[in-house]
Amino acid sequence: MKKQLMDKFAKVYGTTEGAEFYFSPGRVNLIGEHTDYNGGHVFPCALTIGTYAVARKNNDGVMRMYSINFEKFGVCTVPASNFVYNKKDNWCNYPKGVMWAFEQKGYHITSGLDMLFFGNIPNGSGLSSSASIEVATGVILKETFGFDVDMIQISLISQLAENQFNGVNCGIMDQFAIAMGKKDHAIFLDTADLSYEYAPIHLDHAKIVIACSNKKRGLADSKYNERRSECETALAQLQTVVDIKTLGELTEEQFEEVKHVITNPVQRKRAKHAVYENQRTIKAVEALRNNDIALFGKLMNASHVSLRDDYEVTGIELDTLVEAAWEQEGVIGSRMTGAGFGGCTVSIVENDKIDAFIENTGKIYKDKIGYAADFYVVEIGDGTHKVTK
Ligand code: GLA
């Protein structure tokens, strides 16, 4: 991969002199969905698929960005002193947003860069291809300009870029998982204070299988922001009777006692999901610690039901994939993962049943939806880093 991308870099930019090679993963969330902007817990892991990048300083005062995934856009060129969102720059708004966010935080970018990206995460699949590019850009800036930032700060700067430059009010989960990923571990992150623990994922008899619905995510961003504000309104009403800063502070029992103050029944359901999903995530990590993978799977299934019925972010494509998965032999758990409204599901499937799982679930999906899903048996990898070898 390195050689191919270096050769391509030389074609696009003349030489590879001074160029360094980077890898930034995608992520999958095992459980804890739509909890990260509600002060709850999440349990994501970084993948071995992701974004490769080649970058070096130039002396021209311009940022040049090229993606093999978006060749038709050619080289996007912007002044290295003025980072402004521009719809026509398409994917380049992700790296540009991170450059803008570094400047906002007082890290001054002193020269231009020549950059090339190639991602093997399916675009728009909900495996965080955009956050992967953002954190890659953050690490490139740190390495190239010697900025004194750690990986958690890079994840926060990348989130700022997504929120304020690209206008998606996302939580911290994706950027954190990508920056802080660790091979064969998931990250149990408390988004209230960013405390975290690595939990080893030793699935001796099973693997993580991702199914991509291939549904275009369409209105996902505006629906995402809408869910977020529904939770905020529910929280404000709860705050008139309980002293909490986030929904993540409530147990299920505490929520049941006070939920009546949320006047809008839809907003009450949204808040219920946020509270219950957070508690499910805590229980799921406990189950894993006790080697009770069957219970972990049941909690994954319950997470999907809640996202379908209370949070209403699944849709027929994700429901079809998950409900088909539940019927298959050897499936320990299956749920949608990421923001929803399209994107992917994550399932834990026993090794010797994976082929049948892919065939049967794939067939049920294609027969009902009319087009195929793609399946990936994935491995958990490290967070974003410079590749030295
Ligand atoms: C997207 C966001 C995350 C998180 C998930 C839902 O991936 O970027 O911050 O909110 O949706 O859990």
Query: How does 277-306 read in b/e, with b if 16+ C-beta sit within 10 Å?
Result: bbbbbbbbbebbeeeebebbbbbbbbbbeb
- Which atom of ligand 1 is nearest the CA belonging to 34? 12
217 confidence band (pLDDT: 50, 70, 90): low
Q: Is the pLDDT of residue 252 over 90?
A: yes
Q: Extract the tokens encoding 37.
A: 């902007």
Expressed in angstroms and rounded, the spacing between residue 79 Cα and the centre of ligand 1 is: 31
- pLDDT score for 335: 98
- Which atom of ligand 1 is nearest the CA belonging to 29? 12
Expressed in angstroms and rounded, the spacing between residue 299 Cα and the centre of ligand 1 is: 19
pTM above 0.85, yes or no: yes
Active site residue 36: no
- The residue whose C-alpha atom lies closest to atom 8 belonging to ligand 1 is 170
219 confidence band (pLDDT: 50, 70, 90): low
- The residue whose C-alpha atom lies closest to atom 2 belonging to ligand 1 is 170
- Which atom of ligand 1 is nearest the CA belonging to 126? 7
Q: Which of 174, 190, 310, 319 is catalytic?
A: 174
* Top mutation candidate among 127, 162, 170, 300 for ligand 1, by most atoms within 8 Å of CB: 170
**Helix ranges restricted to H, 219-264:** 220-238, 252-258
**In this predicted model, what pLDDT tens digit does every residue of 57-113 receive, in sequence order?**
999 999 999 999 999 999 999 999 889 999 999 999 999 999 999 999 999 999 999
Q: Give the C-alpha separation, 153 to 146, whole Å.
A: 14
The secondary element (H helix, E strand) that includes residue 96 is helix 93-104
Expressed in angstroms and rounded, the spacing between residue 33 Cα and the centre of ligand 1 is: 7
Expressed in angstroms and rounded, the spacing between residue 56 Cα and the centre of ligand 1 is: 31
Q: Give the C-alpha separation, 326 to 185, whole Å.
A: 25
123 confidence band (pLDDT: 50, 70, 90): confident
- Which atom of ligand 1 is nearest the CA belonging to 172? 9
Q: How many percent of the chain have pLDDT more than 90?
A: 93
- pLDDT score for 230: 98
Strand arrangement of the beta sheet that strand 206-212 belongs to: 331-337, 344-350, 206-212, 374-378
Pair 42, 52: CB distance under 8 Å: no
- pLDDT score for 122: 81
Expressed in angstroms and rounded, the spacing between residue 173 Cα and the centre of ligand 1 is: 6
- Which atom of ligand 1 is nearest the CA belonging to 173? 9
Closest by CA to 267, choosing from 241, 318, 231, 314, is 231
Q: Give the C-alpha separation, 341 to 361, whole Å.
A: 19
220 confidence band (pLDDT: 50, 70, 90): low
Mean pLDDT of the chain: 96
Within 8 A by CB and 6+ apart from 374, the residues are 122, 211, 212, 214
**In this predicted model, what pLDDT tens digit does every residue of 283-329 receive, in sequence order?**
999 999 999 999 999 999 999 999 999 999 999 999 999 999 999 99
218 confidence band (pLDDT: 50, 70, 90): low
250 confidence band (pLDDT: 50, 70, 90): very high
- pLDDT score for 126: 85
Expressed in angstroms and rounded, the spacing between residue 314 Cα and the centre of ligand 1 is: 13
- The residue whose C-alpha atom lies closest to atom 1 belonging to ligand 1 is 339
Give strand ranges (E) for 242-281: none
Instruction: Identify the burial level of 344 via C-beta atoms within 10 angstroms of its C-beta, where 0-12 means exposed, 13-18 middle and 19 or more buried.
Output: buried
Cα separations (Å) of 389 from 49, 116, 386?
A: 18, 18, 9
- Which atom of ligand 1 is nearest the CA belonging to 32? 12
Residues within 6 Å of ligand 1 by CB? 33-34, 36-37, 170-171, 173-174, 338-339
Expressed in angstroms and rounded, the spacing between residue 3 Cα and the centre of ligand 1 is: 34
Q: Give the C-alpha separation, 319 to 10, whole Å.
A: 45
* Top mutation candidate among 173, 189, 278, 314 for ligand 1, by most atoms within 8 Å of CB: 173
The secondary element (H helix, E strand) that includes residue 319 is helix 316-326
* Top mutation candidate among 36, 38, 189 for ligand 1, by most atoms within 8 Å of CB: 36
